[in-house]
Amino acid sequence: MYTAKNYEHLLGLTGLSDNLLKNHFTLYQGYVTNFNKLFDAIVKLDEEGKHANPEFAELKRRFGWEFNGMRLHELYFENLTVEHKEPDAESKLYKKIVEQYGSFESWEKYFKATGAMRGIGWAVVYYDKLGDKIFGVWVNEHDVGHLTGATPLLVLDVFEHAYLADYGLKRADYIEAFFKAIDWQVVEGRI
């Protein structure tokens, strides 16, 4: 089964308090635990041949929520660093962003606006290899809005638990702090 990863190396991150991060790590660990329980329950029902009952159906519907909650948090934590790193202007990602958006600054403004939209969810930068395009997407909840076949490059958690304790309702301030903590080497490596 899945084991929660340890992200304590992010403690001391500029812009996000240790208390906020520890709470967020605990929430993430809950997704891992809940996914494991959900998976075990589905396997048990399958072994018992109970495919046609409502419990099996509801657990199957919940599968994407728990799995994506686990994975999106991992991608989010892994694209953060305590050491500020600027994006590499020679990287494939940077060049693709400039090609599509005219400038890195234009893309940054666009993506920040996506993250600042009203509601809860995620702002995700995806790379669609087939179309050779980069998209900034709003993912509502964990299981609604993903681009099939596209690779998540940069993940921004905009559920309240990611910022409320430190920023109150000032999501834009949280997004600014997030941008100062992006590990661009990790993000660039995902493309």
pLDDT tens digits, 82-128: 998 899 999 999 999 999 999 999 999 999 999 999 999 999 999 99
Mean pLDDT of the chain: 96
In sequence order, what are the beta bridge partners of 130?
Answer: none
Predicted pLDDT of residue 179: 97
Predicted pLDDT of residue 150: 97
pLDDT value at 182 more than 90: yes
Q: Using alpha carbons, select from 64, 7, 8, 76 the residue that is nearest to residue 34.
A: 64
Q: Is residue 127 within 8 Å of residue 100, measured between CB atoms?
A: no
Q: What is the pLDDT of residues 57-76, one digit of tens each?
A: 999 999 999 999 999 999 99
Predicted pLDDT of residue 74: 98
CB atoms within 10 A of CB 124: 26
Predicted pLDDT of residue 159: 97
User: pTM to 2 decimals?
Assistant: 0.95
Q: What is the pLDDT of residues 120-159, one digit of tens each?
A: 999 999 999 999 999 999 999 888 999 999 999 999 999 9
DSSP string of 65-134, one letter each residue: HHHHHHHHHHHHHHTB-SS-----TTSHHHHHHHHHHSSHHHHHHHHHHHHTSSSSEEEEEEEETTTTEE
In sequence order, what are the beta bridge partners of 13?
Answer: none
